[in-house]
Amino acid sequence: MTSPSSIRSSLESVLGPEAVRDDPETVAAHAVDGVPPRAVAFPGSTNAVAEAVRLCQRKRLAVIPWGSGSKMAAGFPPERFDLALSTARLQRIVDMDTANLTVTAEAGVRFKTVQAALSGEENRCYLPLEDPVTPSQEEICPERENRGCFIPMSPPHSRTATLGGIVAANSSGPTRLLHGLPRDLVLGVRYVTPAGEVVGMGGKTVKNVSGYDVTKLMIGSQGSLGVVCEITLRLLPLPERTGTELFAFDRREAACRFVDRVFESPLLPSAVELLNHRACALLGPEELDRPAGGTWGVALALEGVEEAVTRMRETFGKMGEARRARVRLQLEGEAHARFWERYGHLEETMEEAWPNLITIHPVYPISEYSGMAARVDALDAVCVLRAGSGTGRIHLLPPGADPEGPEKLLPVVERILEACVRTGGGLTVERAAPAWKARLPLWGPEPDALALMRRIKDQMDPDRLFSPGRFVGGI
């Protein structure tokens, strides 16, 4: 057994003293399911990460990569945990190539930070400066109107989430309806393997079939196959116009029928979110849940050219009217941005208010959303269902100070799981108190290909040093 101080000193010798901490406060802040690491490393570069991992490999230390910590509550408690490998100092935006519609940044960069940088005015050059084909770019496109780019993602924990965390969890939000999942948007990764080797997969091109698509394997691997250090993402030009349509219905069935109509139309909203009354109350504006209780809301995000957004507003408005929507709110500009900001922050809001809540990420074929809505209707939960995407979030609230409270939630989770499995889906538990985890189906039903997944883990991390025991099937 290596003592904490010897871990620190060995790490210090490769990373420098400023990059390693083992003070109680830091260690406690990086605990996973209540298990604190023996030290936390803050390498400042991909190569430094590799150095640290090689050291862990030599000393057989168990490593868990750590971004902002927003999604660390998912998964089984670690079997072993020696070192938290923080990406907090991997903060460079390496390459912002808006002309090519790609951005490359280090894993520790917050999503919010890149997004803000991309929307700025300063990245208007679209020809590679080192290889000017036409003498002056001004000649090429003097009256360029485009205002900037964005990463077409809307992840949960949007204020804190890092790119590395989003990739490791394949974490997605409402606009996945139009833009897809991280697996559709990540073009390449550079990561450090459990052996401490820096490898690069994918690149700056949308199409790439050179060799195996190992990038896909890393996306959603939850830190069990290495540390993702650098990520290249696909961008889109900022849309000409954006907006939100909010509706509230007295009855769940009416809300669902409205959503059905939306999908039957040729229109292309970027998000269609079905909210139970508690979610309405939390997300506001206030009118959405007035009178309180019993209502179901539908939030539609719109983006595109002026004419398309206008038509969507008109058409959806009429559809809502036909289904007797009690409330219709149109958000634009700041109000629109603030609403989706709150949306992206919903998880934190919940976690702050109810530290013991259980957050479920249900998975089901997309047409089953109305059945899912019926199932959660009676639950004391904050629930958003991602219509058209076959997922959502169900936050089960622990019943007050009742000491038996948690017990009562466990069968609820089982029932939701059963419902999802019946449709051919499953669920993952994204958050639950460590004490309950042993009794919860954290990753849903066992995947058919679990044996093959284990073989991949055995090949890539034979000593089981990365996030040991935390992933599907205890991988």
Partner 1 sequence: MDRKPWIEQIEEIVGPDHILTSDMDRILYGYDASLAKGKADAVVLPGDTDEVSRVMALAHRERIPVIARGSGTNLSGGTVPARGGVVIHLSRMNRILEIDLPNRTATVEPGVITLDLQNRLLRDGFVYAPDPASQKVSTLGGNLGENSGGPHCLKYGVTTNHVLGAEVVLSDGTVMWTGGKTHDSAGYDLTGLLVGSEGTLGVVTCMILRILRAPEAVKTMLAVYDSIEDAGNTVSAVIAEGIVPATLEMMDRVVMQAVEASVQAGYPLDAAAVLIIELDGMVDGMERQAQKIQAICRRHHVREIRTARDDAERAKLWAGRKGAFGAITRLKPSYMVGDGTVPRTRLPGVLKRVLETGEKYGLLIGNVFHAGDGNLHPLILFDERVEGELERVKAASSEILKICAEAGGTISGEHGIGLEKLEEMHFVFSEGDLAVMRQVKKAFDPKGLLNPGKVVP
From the list 80, 147, 257, 345, which residue makes contact with partner 1 (rule: CB under 8 A)? Answer: 147
* CA-to-CA dists, residue 413 to 185, 252, 419, angstroms: 31, 21, 10
Of residues 28 and 140, the one with the C-beta less far from partner 1: 140
- When asked if residue 116 is in the footprint of partner 1 (CB under 8 A), the reply is no
- When asked if residue 238 is in the footprint of partner 1 (CB under 8 A), the reply is yes
Phi, psi of 419, rounded to the nearest 5 degrees: -60, -45
- When asked if residue 253 is in the footprint of partner 1 (CB under 8 A), the reply is no
- When asked if residue 448 is in the footprint of partner 1 (CB under 8 A), the reply is yes
Q: Give 109-168 as a DSSP string.
A: SBHHHHHHHHHSSS----S-TTS-SSS-HHHH-TT-----EE-----SSTTT-BHHHHHH
From the list 310, 330, 349, 356, which residue makes contact with partner 1 (rule: CB under 8 A)? Answer: 310
- Count of residues that interact with partner 1, criterion CB under 8 A: 93
Taking the complex as a whole, the smallest distance from the CB of residue 154 to partner 1 amounts, in Å, to 15
Question: Could you give the CA distance from residue 152 to residue 238 in angstroms, rounded to a whole number?
Answer: 9
- When asked if residue 296 is in the footprint of partner 1 (CB under 8 A), the reply is no
Hey, which residues between 452 and 471 contact partner 1 (CB under 8 A)?
452-453, 455-456, 458-460, 471
DSSP 8-state assignment for residue 62 = -
From the list 94, 308, 410, 412, which residue makes contact with partner 1 (rule: CB under 8 A)? Answer: 308
From the list 14, 267, 410, 412, which residue makes contact with partner 1 (rule: CB under 8 A)? Answer: 267
Nearest Cα to Cα of residue 19 among 29, 31, 28, 7 = 7
Question: Could you give the CA distance from residue 65 to residue 231 in angstroms, rounded to a whole number?
Answer: 15
Classified as helix, coil or strand, 465 is: coil
Of residues 40 and 48, the one with the C-beta less far from partner 1: 48
Question: Could you give the CA distance from residue 273 to residue 387 in angstroms, rounded to a whole number?
Answer: 6
HEC secondary structure over 333-370 = HHHHHHHHHHHHCHHHHHHHHCCCCEEEEEECCHHHHH
Question: Could you give the CA distance from residue 204 to residue 81 in angstroms, rounded to a whole number?
Answer: 35
Q: Are 105 and 92 in contact (CB under 8 A)?
A: yes
From the list 237, 293, 294, 399, which residue makes contact with partner 1 (rule: CB under 8 A)? Answer: 237
Nearest Cα to Cα of residue 243 among 333, 143, 362, 138 = 333
Taking the complex as a whole, the smallest distance from the CB of residue 404 to partner 1 amounts, in Å, to 29
Hey, which residues between 44 and 103 contact partner 1 (CB under 8 A)?
97-102
| Beta partners for residue 417, in sequence order | none
From the list 121, 122, 145, 286, which residue makes contact with partner 1 (rule: CB under 8 A)? Answer: 145
Of residues 9 and 208, the one with the C-beta less far from partner 1: 208
Taking the complex as a whole, the smallest distance from the CB of residue 287 to partner 1 amounts, in Å, to 29
| Beta partners for residue 153, in sequence order | none
- When asked if residue 144 is in the footprint of partner 1 (CB under 8 A), the reply is yes
Hey, which residues between 354 and 393 contact partner 1 (CB under 8 A)?
361, 363-367, 389-391
- When asked if residue 421 is in the footprint of partner 1 (CB under 8 A), the reply is no
- When asked if residue 307 is in the footprint of partner 1 (CB under 8 A), the reply is yes
Contact code string over 170-209 relative to partner 1, x by CB under 8 A: x-x---x---xx-xx--------x---xxxxx-xxxxxxx
